[in-house]
A and B are shown apart, each in its own frame.
Chain A
Amino acid sequence: MLRSLTILIVCQFVGEVIVRVTGLPLPGPVLGLVLLLALLMLRGGPDEEMKSTSSGLLRHLLLLFVPAGAGVVTQLNVLGRNLPAAIVAIGVSTALGLAVTAWVMQRLTRGPST
C-alpha cells in the first residue's frame, strides 16, 4: 500500500508542479491522473497493490468530499439568494447535455448496440 500511495502522491506532486510552471488550465490532480495513466500504459497495467490502494481510496470517495461540502455553511446566504436560478440552470442544462451527448454518439456509431 505504501509504495502505490507514494506513486499516487508523486504523480499528483509532479502534476501540480507542471501546472504551476506552465500555467496549463488543468487542476494539478487531473494532470496527475494523466501521468499515472501514461505510466500504467507503459507498464502494461496496475499491479495488485495499486489496484487495491486505488479501489480502497475510490470506495470511500464520497467521504472525501464532505469537508469541502460542509463549507457551504459559509455560503448559505449566497446559496439561498441564488438557489432558484441555479436549479433552473441545472435542470435545463442537464437535459440539453444528455440529449446532445447521446445524439452525437448515436449518429457517429454504426451497427446495433451490444
Chain B
Amino acid sequence: MRPELAHLWVYLQTTPLLGLGATLLAYQAAVAISRKLGGHTLANPMLIAIGLLVGLMLLTHTPYDVYFQGAQYVQFLLGPATVALAVPMHANLGQIRRSAHAILPAILAGSVVAAGSAMLIARLLGASPEVVLSLAPKSVTTPIAMGISEQIGGQPSLTAVFVLLTGIAAIILVGPVMRLTRITDWRAHGLAAGTAGHALATARVLLLNETAGAFGGLAIGLNGLITALVVPLLARLFAGF
C-alpha cells in the first residue's frame, strides 16, 4: 500500500463512517443480489450482507471492533424496532382474544419443545456450552433471540446465524411434518410455522394460505414473549447438569 493510502486507511479506521458506510453499502448490494437471484428464500439479503462484510473484514484484516464502531449505530435501532413489533401485534389483538385458549398452550408447548430439544441434542453431540446457550432462542425473531442470547450468556452473533438456519429448516420441514402428523387446520399450520420458524417459515405458509399467514404472524410475536420467559428457565435447568 502506498504511504498516503495507508494514512487514509488509518484515519478511516478511527471514524464510525467506515463501519456505518460498509454496513449500508453491503446491505444495498445484498438486496440487489437477492433480487437478481429471484428473491429465493435462501438468497436472504441479511445473510448475503453478512457474508460480504465478513469477507471484507478478513481480506482487509479489519478487526470486528473497528467495524462495530460505526455499525453500532445501525444495531442501536434494533431496540426501538423490537418495541415497534407491538403495532402489528395490536392489529391482531381481536384474533388473539378469540382463540387465546388454544393459541397460548400451543405456542408454549412448541417453544419449550423446540428450545429444550435443541439444547439437549446439541449437548449430547458434544457442542460447547456457549453454543448450547446460543441455540436456545433460535426459534424466535432475531432481535428478541439476540436479546435472550445475551442475557443467558450465549453469543448473540452465533444466535443470529442459528436463527437463520432454523428459518431455512422450518421452510423445508413444514410441509412434510404437517403431512406426517395429519394436520389439516390452516390455523395450526400457520401457528406452527411462526412458532418454530419465525418470519421465514411464516412467509412460506402465507404463499399457501392467508389464514395460515395471519396465525404465523401472530405466533412470531407471542412466541417471542413466551420464549423470552421460558428460555432463561431452561438455561438455568441446563446449568444444573
Contact = CB atoms under 8 A, between A and B. Distances in A.
A55 B142 CA distance: 17
B202 interface: no
A30 B139 contact: no
Contacts, number: 330
Interface string B101-119: 1110111011101110111
Interface residues of A, number: 75
A66 B178 contact: no
Contact of A91 (B23, B169, B174): B169
Interface stretch (B7-15, B35-43, B223-231): B223-231
A99 B109 CA distance: 10
Interface of A: 5, 8-9, 11-12, 15, 25-30, 32-37, 40-41, 45-46, 50-51, 53-55, 57-58, 61-75, 78-79, 81-82, 84-106, 108-109, 113-114
Interface residues of B, number: 111
B78 to A, nearest CB: 5
B147 A27 contact: yes
A103 B183 contact: yes
Nearest to B191: A105
A15 B83 CA distance: 10
A102 B178 contact: yes
B54 A102 contact: no
Most chain A beta-carbon neighbours within 10 Å: one of B87, B184, B193: B87
B173 A54 contact: no
Contacts of B170: 94, 98
A93 B114 contact: yes
B148 A27 contact: yes
Contact of A27 (B19, B102, B151, B161): B151
A17 to B, nearest CB: 13
Given A40-B87, A86-B122, A89-B122, A102 B233 contact: no
A8 B103 CA distance: 27
B174 A98 contact: yes
A25 B177 contact: no
